[in-house]
């Protein structure tokens, strides 16, 4: 394992301006529409990948160290280093980094991701249990899939009325599903809650540069508690309240926030599937083959499409860790408090490791190729990996299958109809038309 190399000023500037700044500009906690459109126009992920590939070659795979103000940040470029950092969570590499703590405290001060080691020991098993992290199909999948079916049916009739689907209409439907799955049917139309969360997430984008709206954060907490104390069976909050009523409300804001990313991934997957007739047939055939069994189906191909969307266009732009004590790398010791970054778009599209780097290849999630690769981390990896992974794939694959059944075409979808796929796709700009000719 090579020792981290200190980048020279020109190299460090390139990493900051071409890799890190575009990620931060798009909004780590809630995307800024103007910036995501800008990122697509400039294909910022392509540039970021090129910069990191050049630096990896020049420094023979050594981790790249640079200064960010008073902080030292190390950008890793090899899967073995990704593994060391993620497997070494929460000690000596904590996910509760300085930046994340400041950002997430705006709306989820008790969230697992920013918890101390002592709180983590309690909150992680709680999250795993309620989200049923190790179950491909959640025990409450039936009411969850019913929520998807209901929302998809309403959306389908709206699409038949207008002949179109855009990202805003999709997001409204997605939030109905998220609210029902998380807080129960009574919450389905709670726009006030969605708006409050949106305001707090907007503040969180600015991390410690924005003052905290403690009153609004408390309001959100109480609103969630009101659903928790009168919880309807089948929702996540009901299961959470049953398990531990004190821990439950503090964890729910993260679940609501994180579901947003799944909506973006589903919409991008839909855009590719509806631009490629063969893919659409495969998604529909997969759903048909699984229909009629007992309880909601697993939909392996639909899940693989959502995973592939997350590989190609990761929604967690960088996975970050801080070291809690000095760590030694190839003979060099870095002090406690060093930041580590795994830039997802670089690892997920690395042509030196992946022959399908820029191609649509859901089958690589089914035949085990992608599972063996520590560089593919849409849901992170190791002891702090996403406990919501299976739940997300369940809800997203069922919605994808239902929307694939609509006769939709991706507008201006030529660039998604064939490989290589674009490095950056602004999901907020995606649009679909009913019954138009294939691209």
Main-chain dihedrals φ then ψ at residue 72, nearest 5 degrees: -105, 130
In the bound state with ligand HEM, the residue whose beta carbon lies nearer, of 39 and 86, is: 86
- Interface region with ligand HEM, contact rule CB under 6 A, candidates 26-34, 255-263, 347-355, 415-423: 255-263
Report in angstroms how near the CB of residue 141 gets to ligand HEM at its nearest: 14
Binding residue (CB under 6 A) for ligand HEM from 76, 298, 310, 341: 310
Tell me which residue of 17, 126, 5 sits closest to 75, measured CA to CA. Answer: 5
Cα 9 to Cα 380: distance, rounded to the nearest angstrom = 30
Examine residue 324 and tell whether it contacts ligand HEM (CB under 6 A): no
Report in angstroms how near the CB of residue 310 gets to ligand HEM at its nearest: 5
- DSSP label at residue 97: -
Helices (H), 209-299: 214-229, 236-243, 248-273, 277-290
- Hunting for tokens 């599972």 — which residue is that? 371
Binding residue (CB under 6 A) for ligand HEM from 44, 94, 127, 424: 127
- Interface region with ligand HEM, contact rule CB under 6 A, candidates 156-164, 194-202, 310-318, 413-421: 310-318
Q: Distances from the Cα of 285 to the Cαs of 203, 269, 281, 363, 404, in angstroms?
A: 43, 16, 6, 15, 11
Size of the site for ligand HEM (CB under 6 A): 27
Number of residue whose CB is nearest ligand HEM: 388
Binding residue (CB under 6 A) for ligand HEM from 112, 305, 408, 423: 112
- Interface region with ligand HEM, contact rule CB under 6 A, candidates 149-157, 226-234, 362-370, 374-382: 374-382
Examine residue 228 and tell whether it contacts ligand HEM (CB under 6 A): no
Tell me which residue of 370, 366, 345, 359 sits closest to 272, measured CA to CA. Answer: 359
Examine residue 148 and tell whether it contacts ligand HEM (CB under 6 A): no
Examine residue 323 and tell whether it contacts ligand HEM (CB under 6 A): no
Examine residue 259 and tell whether it contacts ligand HEM (CB under 6 A): yes
Report in angstroms how near the CB of residue 201 gets to ligand HEM at its nearest: 14
∠ CA(328), CA(23), CA(251), 5° rounding? 80
3-state secondary structure of 297: coil
Binding residue (CB under 6 A) for ligand HEM from 265, 267, 421, 423: 265
Q: Which residues pair with residue 165 across a beta bridge? A: 432
CA dihedral sign, ordered 167, 168, 174, 178: positive
In the bound state with ligand HEM, the residue whose beta carbon lies nearer, of 7 and 403, is: 403
3-state secondary structure of 422: coil
Q: How many residues does the chain have?
A: 439
Binding residue (CB under 6 A) for ligand HEM from 387, 408, 424, 432: 387
- Interface region with ligand HEM, contact rule CB under 6 A, candidates 75-83, 332-340, 385-393, 409-417: 385-393
Examine residue 183 and tell whether it contacts ligand HEM (CB under 6 A): no
Report in angstroms how near the CB of residue 399 gets to ligand HEM at its nearest: 12
Report in angstroms how near the CB of residue 375 gets to ligand HEM at its nearest: 13
Residue 149: CB partners within 8 Å, gap ≥ 6? 398, 402
Between residue 411 and residue 430, which ones bind ligand HEM under the rule CB under 6 A? none
In the bound state with ligand HEM, the residue whose beta carbon lies nearer, of 270 and 391, is: 391
- Hunting for tokens 């679940």 — which residue is that? 255
Main-chain dihedrals φ then ψ at residue 363, nearest 5 degrees: -60, -25
- Hunting for tokens 């821990």 — which residue is that? 247
- Interface region with ligand HEM, contact rule CB under 6 A, candidates 22-30, 273-281, 290-298, 375-383: 375-383
Cα 212 to Cα 221: distance, rounded to the nearest angstrom = 14
User: 210: cis peptide before it, omega within 30°?
Assistant: no
- Residues that bind ligand HEM in the complex, under the rule CB under 6 A: 95, 112-113, 124, 127, 131, 254-255, 258-259, 261-262, 265, 310, 315-316, 319-320, 378-380, 384, 386-388, 391-392
């Amino acid at each position: 394992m090579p020792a981290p190399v200190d980048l020279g000023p020109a190299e460090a500037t390139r990493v900051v301006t071409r890799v890190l700044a575009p990620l931060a500009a798009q909004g780590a906690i809630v995307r800024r529409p103007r910036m995501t459109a800008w990122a697509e126009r400039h294909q910022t992920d392509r540039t970021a990948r090129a910069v990191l590939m050049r630096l990896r070659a020049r420094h023979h795979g050594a981790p790249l160290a640079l200064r960010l103000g008073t902080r030292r940040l190390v950008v890793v470029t090899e899967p073995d280093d990704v593994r060391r950092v993620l497997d070494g969570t929460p000690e000596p590499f904590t996910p509760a980094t300085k930046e994340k703590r400041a950002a997430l405290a705006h709306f989820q001060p008790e969230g697992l991701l920013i918890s101390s080691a002592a709180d983590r020991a309690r909150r992680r098993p709680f999250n795993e249990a309620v989200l049923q992290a190790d179950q491909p199909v959640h025990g409450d999948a039936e009411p969850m899939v019913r929520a998807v079916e209901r929302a998809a049916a309403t959306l389908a009739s709206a699409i038949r009325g207008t002949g179109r689907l855009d990202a805003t209409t999709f997001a409204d439907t997605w939030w109905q599903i998220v609210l029902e799955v998380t807080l129960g049917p009574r919450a389905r139309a709670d726009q006030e809650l969605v708006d409050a969360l949106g305001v707090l997430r907007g503040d969180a984008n600015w991390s410690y540069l924005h003052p905290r709206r403690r009153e609004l954060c408390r309001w959100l907490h109480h609103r969630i508690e009101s659903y928790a104390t009168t919880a309807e069976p089948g929702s996540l909050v009901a299961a959470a309240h049953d398990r531990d009523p004190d821990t439950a409300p503090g964890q729910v804001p993260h679940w609501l926030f994180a579901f947003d990313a799944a909506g973006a991934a589903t919409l991008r997957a839909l855009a590719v599937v509806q631009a490629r007739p063969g893919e659409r047939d495969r998604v529909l055939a997969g759903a048909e083959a699984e229909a009629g069994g007992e309880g909601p189906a697993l939909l392996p191909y639909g899940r693989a499409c959502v995973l592939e969307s997350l590989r190609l266009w990761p929604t967690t732009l960088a996975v970050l860790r801080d070291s809690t004590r000095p760590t030694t790398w190839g003979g060099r010791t870095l002090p406690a408090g060093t930041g580590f970054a795994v830039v997802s778009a670089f690892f997920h599209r690395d042509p030196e490791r992946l022959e399908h780097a820029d191609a649509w290849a859901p089958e690589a999630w089914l035949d085990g190729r992608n599972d063996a690769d520590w560089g593919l981390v849409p849901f992170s990896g190791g002891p702090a990996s996403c406990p919501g992974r299976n739940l997300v794939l369940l809800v997203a694959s069922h919605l994808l299958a239902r929307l694939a059944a609509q006769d939709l075409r991706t507008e201006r979808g030529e660039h998604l109809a064939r490989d290589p796929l674009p490095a950056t796709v602004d999901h907020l700009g995606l649009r679909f038309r009913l019954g138009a000719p294939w691209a």
